[in-house]
Every structure is written in structure tokens, then in C-alpha cells.
Structure 1
Amino acid sequence: MKVLPRFLILLVPALACVLAIPAPAQVRDHDIQPEDYFDLTTLGNLAVSPDGLWIAFTESRWGNGKEGRSSDLWIVGTREGAARRLTFDGFGGGSCVWSPDGRSLYCLGRDRAGREAPPHDGSTQVWRIDPVAGTRQAVTRLDGGVESFVLAPGGDAVLFTATEETTDESWSALRKEFPDLRYGHGVRDLTRITRLDLGSWREKTLLDPDRVVWDMALSPDGRKLALITTTDNELIFKEGWSRVEVLDLETGATLTVADESWRRDHKSPYGWIEDLAWAGDSRALAFSISYDGYASQIWVAEEAADRWDLQRVERPGLATYAGALRWRGEGRTLCYLGEEMGRVRLLGTRDVGSGAQGPTDILTEGDWVVGAYAFDRRGKMLAVIAETVTGANDVYAVEGPRKLVRRTDSNPQVATWKLPRIEHVSWTGGDGETCWGILELPPGYRDGDGPLPAVVELHGGPTSSTKYRLRLWIYGRALMASRGYALLSPNYHGSTGYGDAFLEKLIGRENDIEVADIAAGTRWLIDQGIADPDRIGVMGWSNGGYLTNCMIVAEPDLYAAASSGAGVLDMVIQWGTEDTPGHVINFVEGLPWEVADHYRQASPLYGLDRVRTPTLIHVGGSDPRVPPAHSKALYRALHHYLGVPTELVIYPGEPHGLTTHENRLAKMKWDLAWFERYLLGKDPD
């Protein structure tokens, strides 16, 4: 296999990007404000037309007040012309695919006309869009809506999924007598798969609702439907009890891809099957297995006479699998997003099959963070959605590994922003190993301008990372630098993009090695003359909130202020109440009654008497991932028993991530005011 070179740390010169959209020079005179976040648009759902001439994509925008984000469908030429909007009013446009003749687009969408009956009742349905006229026609009219769909290769039918509630036989009488109660098990939402003929408009059930289908992919020859299934719709069943099945559409028989060596031979059984992708010859099925704490794996199942033969696809260098499996055209080049050193590129492994693989190529070289990609039918035309350190996400036509031609200008206002100076930096962390992170400095910062007030921002996951890109979001990036702070985002042990060994070293060492990484990174800021040692804050959400809790226990004199968002306090509570307990089991290496000491060591709860840092606490009132009990316990301990300056902000009805304009704005403004009070000495009133 060809070994990829280490990716560059500094920004690759302008050879990486060619602008197809001429724009007048802009004066960067705008200081970034919290409200600017809600003017940003986010792109997704790429689809390239079969002839390679057009790119369809969705654009998401924020609403006002208690509204969240809504999406609409757009189209742009691969070579010329401005982007054109096809739908309005938050219609959607997800799962967009082109018809084989390129004359129509099929997608999931919602017609919000306010009528009582589908398809105009706001339920999700399959729609057909005319990309020239911009008109749309409902393909499905299902009560309750459609979950997902695929288009038949000939364009003559759609296969769609919908859920139906079923009640198990045990205790069924009482469950049915009291249907409004919630039960631990026994009442399930199972999946029905239906084929709708687009000529006769007749429906045929392909799979009765006796299992849950999380994803499906139709083979190019139209004969086989690959499924990711579980026996229950609770998320816990997906992290270790999921399987790959193949439904023969001619016979109706279902065959399970029985060789589960990916599960049997792995250190953890708690893997998530994702990203089904058929090869062009319909004889190979690719899928990925994602783990909390371990590197994701890519597998290919090849059809034999009476079985499926599995092979694992090896990744190059330090690259971590970042999703989006696709076969290129009719060949055996398997493409996917690969993350390395803060960048995300599109990779393609040639000649995958028969237990072998060829070299891996970088299809988008340079300092890019690629979020999505799509090929035309032949695999010739490639489009990506990508970001850089100087611009927000846009659609690019890829004319070569180092020639990405921008086809949209989704956020023109960014050209007027005063941008932070963004660097990929390193220091010596836990176990004496090199750690990396993203450093943002105020616009116009010059070496020697410090020391500055600083904030250490901790990413979630932890099987994730902070990327080398411009990003304004609610957890501090871009915004803190605009207010004169230095912002360090450590990619501590357990982060993706720095090799499997670096990623997996966090297993069994939570609240230990990554705490050492973060503390060392904070002191590196001080030693470099960047941070004022008396004015450093720490913040994070989810696993970043957990680590914020860990840091104020482990380093009570290092941080003068903290913002803990949706952070774990006690690992036993987390295992017992979150929706994905395999996460905890992986990192703590066992169940509470098996390794009780491990659970205690990983829990900041038992060291709260050391905390002196003024701490702001955020949590969604309906968070299923890190339930509010953690944040409430932290608040009770600090406010009522320890006398530490503390505020608790609960966002009613919100899940793990804040969803409304109002709540996200509140989160940003509370953080800014908190750090101004305790790092800058400003009165919040």
C-alpha cells in the first residue's frame, strides 16, 4: 500500500483553491458578534447529476426566537452560473438523488401548507422536483410520514421505510389499557419497507414490521436491498446488537451477513454499523463500524455462492475514518473521508476486493476540511463541500487533487469579518507524548502582543476533534478571539486524526491522561507568553463539559473561570441513565459492579471539595445523552455546600444539543458575560 506523506501543518498556498466566482475585494472591518452566528448558512446533502453538469445541495438557515434551523434545496452548475434555489419555507431536501435521466430530483421534504391530510400536513414525504421549473410533486402521501427512501436504479420506483408501533405479547393487556404510559421495553417502533411503482402508483410491502431498519442501500442491479437492523428502536440496541442483512427482492429471502469477525475479534463489542455502500457490480457491500474510544473500521462483504466473505480495508498513515463510504463509478475504488492532523480530506483506496486492496490516493490535497462529497454516475465529476481557515463552507467542483473550484458563495458576509489568526500547535502532554491543538488569536495579533486573557475550549466526543478551519459557533471558536482572548482547543489523547494509538490510549484512563494533556497545553500558553496566568478560563460541552468538571477538580488554581455544558459528573449515573451506555463501558472497561474503582476514578464528583473556580453550568432540560442530574448535582455541590460562585442555566425541553435560536444566543451571551466577569473584572449588570 502507498503510504501517504505527513500532512502539512501550515496553510498550503493558493494552488489549493481556484475561485470560479469573481468577487470585489472586501475590507475586513467587522468585529464578529454572537448574532453573526445566526446569519451563517450550512450546506449539505450533495448530489451530482448523472451527466456531471449540475450539483444539488441543501442550505440550512436559522429562524428567529424559538425556531431552529430549516433547510431548502438548491442547484448550481459544475462549470458556470450562480446557485439557484429550488424550494422555500424550510421544505427540506434531505437524501436528495437524481433520476437516471437527470430530469428530476427526488428528496425528503415537508409541505407546511397547514392542511390536515398528507402530503400537505407538514409530515415528511418523498417528493419529485423539476430542477428547471422548480415545481414539485408529492410521491408519497403516507399518514405519519416517511422515514427514508431509495430510488430504484431505473427510476421507475421508490422504496421507502415507515415505522409502526407494536406491543409485545407479554403484559400486552396492561400496556394497551394504559397506552400513554412509557415502558422500559415491550412497546417498539418497527419498520415496514414498501415499494411504490411510479408508473402504476401501486404499493407492495417488501418487509413486514418485525425489526428496526436504521439504514438501507439498494444494489445497482436493483436485486438486493442491504439493511442495518436491530430488534428494538432504543438506541442502546444499535451499539452492539445491530447486524447487516441483505433482502433478495426477487425471492423475498433475507440473508444475514453472518461473519461478524469485526465484532468477535474486537476489544469492544459495542460497535455501530453505518454507511452502507454497494459496488457498481452489485457483488460487494461496504460498511463501517464506529466505536466510542476505538478507531472506526471499514469492511467489505463480497458475495460468494452461499455466504459473504469479509475483508477489512486498511487506512493509511495516521488517518481516522470520518465517514461517507462511496464506490467511485463502476470500479472498485472505495472512497471515504479521512481525518489527519486537523484536516479532513477525501481518500480513495483502489482495487478493493478478493481480500486485497491497492494504494490509497488523496483526492483533495491541502488544508481542507471536507464535510461531504458526491460523484456523477461515471465517477468522473467530483463535488465537495469544504471549509478552510479563511472561509465558511462552500460547494467546490474538484478538477484535480490540488484544484478545487468554488461554485457557491454561501456566506459572503464572512469576507468583511476580522478573522482570528488560526494555528495548529503542539506541546508535550501526558506520558511525555506530543499533543496537538488549534490556537486562535485575536485579529491583528502579533508575536509578543501577549499575555492575553485566554480560554481553553474542550471538544466533545471524546472520539472527535477540533478541526483546522474557521468556525464560528456557540462553544467559543472565533467569537472569543474577536473579544481579545486567546482560545486553545486541545486535541487531547482520545481525539481523532492523530493515529489509532493516540486515540485508543484514553481507554481505561479517563480523568487522567487527557487531563494531563489539557493542563500541559494551558501551561504551554503561559510559557509562550500568550496567556496571562491569572486570567485563564476553561469551557466545553458534552465530553468537553465533563473535562471542564475534571479540570476544575484537578487544577483548582489554574483556571479563574469555567463554563461546563452538559457534562458528566458521576460515571455510574451516566452508565445507568444515558442512551448509549456502551460509551461508558468502553472507556471504563467494564460494568459498575465489575470495576467500581474505575468508575470512581473517572468521576470528578468525588473531588469536588477541591474546586474554587467560579463555574457556569448549562444543560438541556430533556438531555438523554448526559441527563440533567449531573449538572444539577454539580450546582448543588458548588452552590449549596462549597460556596463556589455558580450559576445553573437549564434550557427547557432541549436535548443534548441546543436547537433554537433563542437558546443558542443565550448560551453564547452567558459565556461571554461569565468570562468578562471573572477574567476581565467587568460587572455583568
Structure 2
Amino acid sequence: MRESEPELAAELLVDRAIPGMAALSPDGARIAYLVSEAAADGERHTGLWTVRTDGATPPTLLTLLAGRLVRTGGLRWSADGRSVFCLSDGRLLRIRLEQPGSGAAVAAPEPIATHEGGIVALVPFADGRRLALITGGEPDAGRLRRAGEGDDAYVWGTQVPGNRLWIFDLADASWTPVAAFDRRHVTAVAVRPDDAAIAVVSRECALEDPGVFTGRLNVVSLADTAPFATAVAPALAPAPAPVPALDLGPVGVDAMAPAWWRVAGRWHVAYIAAPLGRPVGYGIFDVDVPTGLYADERSSFPRRHHDLTPGTAACPLELVQTDGSHLLALFAEGLDSLVYRLDGNLSLRCLIARTGHLESLTVNARGDTIAALASSGTQPVEVHAGPANGPLRPLTRMQHAFDRIVWGTQQRVVHRAADGLEIEGVLVLPPHTTSAAGPFPLITLIHGGPYARHVDAAAFQEQPCPQWLAAAGYAVFLPNPRGSLGRGRAFAQTVLGAVGTVEWTDILSGVDALIADGTADPDRLAVMGWGHGGYLAAWAITQTRRFRAAIIGAGISSWPLQVAGGDLGTRDGILAGASGWDENELSARPPSPPNSPITHACRIRTPALLLHGEDDADVPLSQSLYLHRALRHYGVDHELVVYPREGHDIRERAHQLDVMRRCVAWLDRRLPVRNFTEQARSRERDNA
């Protein structure tokens, strides 16, 4: 770092402004967005902001919101564009605007609805009078009473109440249940643009296992004409008879983002999901909804769900609804992001191809204006907007705290896997250096998932982020091996039933390529990751002793243990190809199959730092405890650090700071990076 440059302090990264989600107004003139910022009291406060899409005026803070906000499906405009709805601490809040286009609030957030189970998603109707609300499961009064008496035994799976679906009337604050789903767990809802029907994704139970394998798509008519009664009861009227739900058949794993559109004059519903029985490799699927619903086409059900993306080289991330004429979809392609239009002839047409990362795609009613959160390798995330065919331009400066920071050089790298397949990744070098200054001490940072990816963007969400490691003097390699998203379904599904095989050799070939071109020092290598990345970091040090240090964050050490205790259960068993009870596993050495790191713990000699949240439900703490006890048994240099109150992601400020500093300290003790990097910079200055 040069004298005039500010230091990239850990506090600067942890206390940065974090955008939540964005929502475009129906007329496309304004964007509402959430920003979480560090406050003087040490807590984070969330502000609701608006900005005009034409950039004519600076962003305006509407109000500060207390409590925990819903980040997905929790921020919407009213149909007339005069109010913004948001969800905070399970409450439905309305923020009224003074007049359209002013961007000024006249009052504090107005609580308009609460529910004992909390409100988890909202979708406004076009009539401006109703909202579709998804609420958390209501506590069972009988079970609560029995718990108070100590008589609280339960049958497994029945203790988690499912989400419920309601129609909420803003005029009289009345709630009407959509009773067809009372015995199912509702995960997503879409209102048809003409308000005549809703599409609902639900599953048998709230538990990920087995619920994630039991998703179905239904349509409920809200028309006042036969064959259905209206689902919204007039005030003081008797409760309506249950409205039947038309079953359109099963949907794949992680079905989400249902959206209505018209194809050849007929209403269809599209959604994103992984194919049935395949927990990775998302696609867009579409099903037509018969005009007569129950009356004239009953015999043709269940309807066929058409795969609209069977051979697409990109992977869908988000799907957004317009006025019904078409859909817009956000795709990941390699290290970049694409926006596609889905037209009524079932075709996909690329509108925007953007370097780096896009998320929280939002669109106006006509679908001709879009907004999103965007970042690139040199620009942290900001709100962007523009016409649907681009370009998108930044409208905010949330990350001005980084204006004077000199970032490490970030570049794309491509290498050949052992079988010749091209594998992409990102390389981040220490500030003021290039590859010519190598070889550098190299950290291979593996992403989670495995159905995730590294993007050529500001990766502040990583634990710790690559730029923090680069500022400490390390080169950081971010590989996207097979199993990652962004290269199509077949690329992602290569690792099904075989994690730790080809994805690991893809990563290792990338390290070899960086050594061969002089970027990486073969005697100064480290490996780290979180979640599935933590699993691969643990797996790496059972397969080779080339790494001088390892950092394993919330990593899986035993796949059968993960099936037994993780939220995803048998879904992880499908990924690993091992559950511990299959007959074909009898040949494996008990108690774990060959691709569990614990099976090969006797080979580990690499110093390992294990980090884990105490309340992690995705990858239970028992995974790190298991590996810790094995490493202790074999006398391997290691530490296990547990973060109280934390789940799979580390969220508390003090804990985030500890992760960042502890990781660098662990690496610094085992890789003499400081002098090494100064020598590299000196060589580059001499060459210049």
C-alpha cells in the first residue's frame, strides 16, 4: 500500500452498505430499494430509498425500517404507484408517497397487517384493493399447551407448520384463506395480470426433506363467474366455500418464480426449477392453463410441463412477470449475466449481455423498463436501470466509502481440465501487481453449492472476500469447476452422485495452470471454502499434501452424517451418491463412502482451520466436530472455531471481523507472504 492510499480495513468491508432488493414502479419511473448500513450504535439499520430511473434527481431516503426485513418477495409497489409495501419482522407495512414522482414520504411506515406466524411474501393485485399474502405456519395451540405441561412428544415432521395463503383486502383489512392449500406448505404465488386467477407452488410439508421433492403447481380461479365462487368474502358475510385448486401436476426441485404470460392467445404459467429428481441444473418450464379450467378439459390433466431451456448453455436465475404479453428472465452465463425475453412463440431472445453480476431483476408493467442490482470486477454493487434492451446505467452511489481504495487486479482465467474441457475462473492479484510479478502465494477459494459460481464482480459476500485476501498480499484463484451454474444443465449435473471427483480435478488443473504460467508459487499454496467449498477444501487435503494451509468453513466431512442431520437430507445423498444405507455402498469402508473426507482423514497432514456456526442447520456443527476429532486423533495441527448464534452464514459484526482476521492470521503463519509479496512488487518495479 502506498502512503496516500487508504487501507482496506476489515471494518470497511463489514460495515459497507448492503443493498437488499429493488422494485420498479408499475409505470417504470421510479425504483424502490433497500439498503442496510452500519449505524453509530453498532447495529445495522435498513433504509427504504427511491430513485428516478431517468436519473434526474438524486436518491431519496423514504424511511428507516426497524427489524428484520424479508429480502425475497418482500418489497412491492401498489398498482397505482402511490405506495410501497414491505415486510419487516413479519408485519406488512405501507409507505405512502406524497404524490407520484415526488419521491417524498408523508408519514412513517404504516402497519396494515400482522399475523401470528409472520408474513413472508406479498403480491399485489392489479385492482389496487387486494394482496396475496403468504404467512408462516401458525403455532398449534394444543401443542403449545402440552409443551407447557411437559407433554410435548411429537411425530417427526409434524412439528413444523406450513405456510398458508390468504387474500387480504386493503379496504376492510379482512383476511380470506385460500383453503385449498390448508394442508400444504405454500412457497410461491403469482397473480394473473387480469386478477382472475392465481398460480400457486406448494409442497407437502415445510421440511426441506421430504418437502422439496413433493412440489406441485396449482391454479385457483378468482373470477366472480361460474364455475368458481369468489375467494374474497365481503365484510361481515359468511366465510366462502373452499375454492377448488386446479392441479397442473408436479414440479421439479426448488420450483420458484411462477409467472403468467400469454402464448398463442392462451394463458400459461412458467417457473424455474431443477428437473424432477435432479437437485441441480435449473431450467425454465412452462404449462398451459385451459380456458375452461375444470369444465371443458378435465380429461387432459395433468398438463405437460414443457422444458424451454433443455440445451441452453446458460442457467436461469430469476423470472419476472409483465402485463402478460411476455416474460423477462435473468440468466447466468459463465462469469457474466444475461437478460432474456420469452415471447409468445416460446422463444428466448437475449436483450442484455452484461459483464459481471446482476440480481434482483425487476420490471415495469409493460416490460419495457428494467432495473437490477449490478456489480463488476471494478465496481461494487449499485442500482442500475434502463430500457429492456439496454444499456443499464448506475443510479446510486451506495459504495462511495470505497472510492479511494485501490483494488487488487482482477482478471478472467481459462484453463483446460484433464479431459480437455475449458474451465473458467477469476484471478485476483495483490494491488499494484500483475501476473508478471509472480510467482505469488496462491489461495484457491472454492465456492459453495456446488450449484453456485464465482462471478467477475465484487465478491464481498464471500467469507472472507477475495479482495481482503489480495490486500493481505495473496493471489486468489476463484475456480468454477463442473457442478457450477452458468454453463448449462449438463455441466452442472456432471457431479450428481460423484462430488469430489471431476470437480476436484478441474480445480487442481487450474492450480497447475497458474503454476505453469508463473503466477503461483508451488511451495506457497493454500485452499479454502465455505459450505460445499468447505467440503472440497477438506477433500483436497485428503488427496494431496501440496497445500501448506487449509481453511474449512462449515464443511461436510461425512455424507451419511449430512443425510442424517442436514436440512436437505436425502437431497444431499443424491448429490453425493451416498446415503449410508444403499446396498451398493456395502463395498465402501464403513462408516462413510469413499468421497467423504472423514474416510481419508488418516492422510491429512495440512494445518487446517475449521470454522462453523453453532446453529447451522444446513451443515450441522457435528460435521466439523467429526473432522476435529479425527485430526486430533492423528495429531494434525488444527483449530476448530465455533460462532454462537450463527447459522450457515456468519452475520454478526464481531464474528465477521473475526473470520476475516483469523483467516489471514492462519495463512500468514504458514505462508511467508509479506516478504514474498514485497519481493514480487519490487521485481515488477524493476521490470517497469
Normalising by structure 1, we get a TM-score of: 0.85
Task: Give 1:604's match in structure 2, choosing from 597, 605, 617.
Answer: 597
Q: Assess, with a 3 A threshold, how the Cα gap between structure 1 residues 508 and 188 changes in structure 2: closer, same or farther.
A: closer
Q: Per-residue deviation at 1:63?
A: 6.0
Q: Per-residue deviation at 1:134?
A: 4.3
Partners of 1:102 and 1:216 in 2: how far apart?
21
Task: Give 2:522's match in structure 1, choosing from 519, 533, 536.
Answer: 533
What pairs with 1:453-532 in structure 2 (closer than 5 Å)? 453-472=441-460, 473-532=462-521
Q: Per-residue deviation at 1:582?
A: 3.5
Partners of 1:663 and 1:187 in 2: how far apart?
31
Partners of 1:28 and 1:504 in 2: how far apart?
49
Give yes or no for contact 1:621–1:653 (8 Å, CA) kept in 2.
Answer: yes
Judge which range, 516-525 or 666-675, deviates more: 516-525
CA displacement, residues 427-482 of structure 1 (integer Å, 9 cap, x when unaligned): 22243322221111112213421111111101000011111112234234111111
What pairs with 1:326-365 in structure 2 (closer than 5 Å)? 326-331=320-325, 333-352=326-345, 357-358=346-347, 360-365=348-353
CA displacement, residues 129-172 of structure 1 (integer Å, 9 cap, x when unaligned): 32532423221144453232222211112232334447699x99
CA displacement, residues 168-227 of structure 1 (integer Å, 9 cap, x when unaligned): 99x999778536667523333134433332223333333273322122222222222222
- Identity across aligned pairs (percent)? 25
- 2:86 is aligned with 1:102: no
Q: Per-residue deviation at 1:329?
A: 3.5
Q: Per-residue deviation at 1:637?
A: 1.6
RMSD across aligned positions (CA): 2.8
Task: Give 2:650's match in structure 1, choosing from 648, 658, 665.
Answer: 658
Partners of 1:227 and 1:428 in 2: how far apart?
44
What pairs with 1:112-191 in structure 2 (closer than 5 Å)? 123-130=90-97, 131-135=103-107, 136-165=109-138, 178=150, 184-191=156-163
What pairs with 1:50-129 in structure 2 (closer than 5 Å)? 50-62=26-38, 70-79=45-54, 80-90=56-66, 92=69, 95-110=74-89, 123-129=90-96
Partner of 1:40: 16
Partners of 1:200 and 1:277 in 2: how far apart?
28
Partners of 2:474 and 2:29 in 1: how far apart?
45
Q: Per-residue deviation at 1:682?
A: 8.3
Q: Per-residue deviation at 1:670?
A: 0.7
Partner of 1:16: none
Q: Per-residue deviation at 1:328?
A: 3.8
Partners of 2:50 and 2:151 in 1: how far apart?
45
Q: Per-residue deviation at 1:40?
A: 2.0
What pairs with 1:625-664 in structure 2 (closer than 5 Å)? 625-638=618-631, 640-664=632-656
Judge which range, 397-406 or 505-514, deviates more: 397-406
CA displacement, residues 77-126 of structure 1 (integer Å, 9 cap, x when unaligned): 1111111111215464752222222111122135xxxxxxxxxxxx5234
Partner of 1:22: none
Partners of 1:142 and 1:198 in 2: how far apart?
15
The SS at the match of 1:431 is coil
Partners of 2:673 and 2:82 in 1: how far apart?
62
Normalising by structure 2, we get a TM-score of: 0.85
Partner of 1:674: 666
Q: Assess, with a 3 A threshold, how the Cα gap between structure 1 residues 222 and 40 changes in structure 2: closer, same or farther.
A: same
Partners of 1:592 and 1:295 in 2: how far apart?
25
Q: Per-residue deviation at 1:485?
A: 0.8
Q: Assess, with a 3 A threshold, how the Cα gap between structure 1 residues 531 and 232 changes in structure 2: closer, same or farther.
A: same
Judge which range, 471-480 or 661-670, deviates more: 471-480
Give yes or no for contact 1:165–1:188 (8 Å, CA) kept in 2.
Answer: no
Partner of 1:274: 256
Partners of 2:626 and 2:674 in 1: how far apart?
28
Q: Which has the higher contact order (CA 8 A, sep 6+)?
A: 1
Give yes or no for contact 1:492–1:514 (8 Å, CA) kept in 2.
Answer: yes
Partners of 2:391 and 2:248 in 1: how far apart?
43
Give yes or no for contact 1:28–1:418 (8 Å, CA) kept in 2.
Answer: no
The SS at the match of 2:160 is strand
Partners of 1:294 and 1:143 in 2: how far apart?
34
- 2:434 is aligned with 1:438: no
User: Counterpart of 1:86 in structure 2: which amino acid?
Assistant: L
Q: Per-residue deviation at 1:606?
A: 1.4
- The aligned length equals 626
Partner of 1:321: 316
Judge which range, 372-381 or 456-465, deviates more: 372-381
The SS at the match of 2:367 is coil
The SS at the match of 1:148 is strand
Task: Give 1:288's match in structure 2, choosing from 272, 277, 284.
Answer: 272
Q: Per-residue deviation at 1:521?
A: 1.6
User: Counterpart of 1:600 in structure 2: which amino acid?
Assistant: P
Partners of 2:388 and 2:286 in 1: how far apart?
27
Task: Give 1:253's match in structure 2, choosing from 224, 236, 243.
Answer: 243
- 2:202 is aligned with 1:229: yes
What pairs with 1:406-445 in structure 2 (closer than 5 Å)? 406-445=394-433
Partner of 1:213: 186
User: Counterpart of 1:101 in structure 2: which amino acid?
Assistant: D
Q: Assess, with a 3 A threshold, how the Cα gap between structure 1 residues 570 and 126 changes in structure 2: closer, same or farther.
A: same
Partners of 2:404 and 2:66 in 1: how far apart?
27
Q: Assess, with a 3 A threshold, how the Cα gap between structure 1 residues 29 and 376 changes in structure 2: closer, same or farther.
A: same
Give yes or no for contact 1:420–1:481 (8 Å, CA) kept in 2.
Answer: yes
Q: Per-residue deviation at 1:669?
A: 0.8
- 2:139 is aligned with 1:195: no
Partners of 1:375 and 1:282 in 2: how far apart?
22
- Give ranges in structure 1 of 5+ residues lacking alignment: 1-26, 111-122, 264-270
Give yes or no for contact 2:193–2:323 (8 Å, CA) kept in 1.
Answer: no
Partners of 1:480 and 1:155 in 2: how far apart?
50
Partner of 1:116: none
User: Counterpart of 1:127 in structure 2: which amino acid?
Assistant: R
CA displacement, residues 299-356 of structure 1 (integer Å, 9 cap, x when unaligned): 112111334453221267421122x21234441x33211111111221222224xxxx
Partner of 2:678: none
User: Counterpart of 1:96 in structure 2: which amino acid?
Assistant: L
Q: Assess, with a 3 A threshold, how the Cα gap between structure 1 residues 159 and 505 changes in structure 2: closer, same or farther.
A: closer
Give yes or no for contact 1:293–1:503 (8 Å, CA) kept in 2.
Answer: no
Q: Assess, with a 3 A threshold, how the Cα gap between structure 1 residues 614 and 66 changes in structure 2: closer, same or farther.
A: farther
Give yes or no for contact 2:336–2:353 (8 Å, CA) kept in 1.
Answer: no
Q: Per-residue deviation at 1:401?
A: 4.1
User: Counterpart of 2:189 in structure 1: which amino acid?
Assistant: M
Judge which range, 602-611 or 425-434, deviates more: 425-434
The SS at the match of 2:378 is coil
Q: Per-residue deviation at 1:562?
A: 0.6
User: Counterpart of 1:351 in structure 2: which amino acid?
Assistant: G
Give yes or no for contact 1:230–1:237 (8 Å, CA) kept in 2.
Answer: no
What pairs with 1:381-392 in structure 2 (closer than 5 Å)? 381-392=369-380
Q: Assess, with a 3 A threshold, how the Cα gap between structure 1 residues 196 and 317 changes in structure 2: closer, same or farther.
A: closer
Partner of 1:267: none
Partners of 2:387 and 2:106 in 1: how far apart?
28
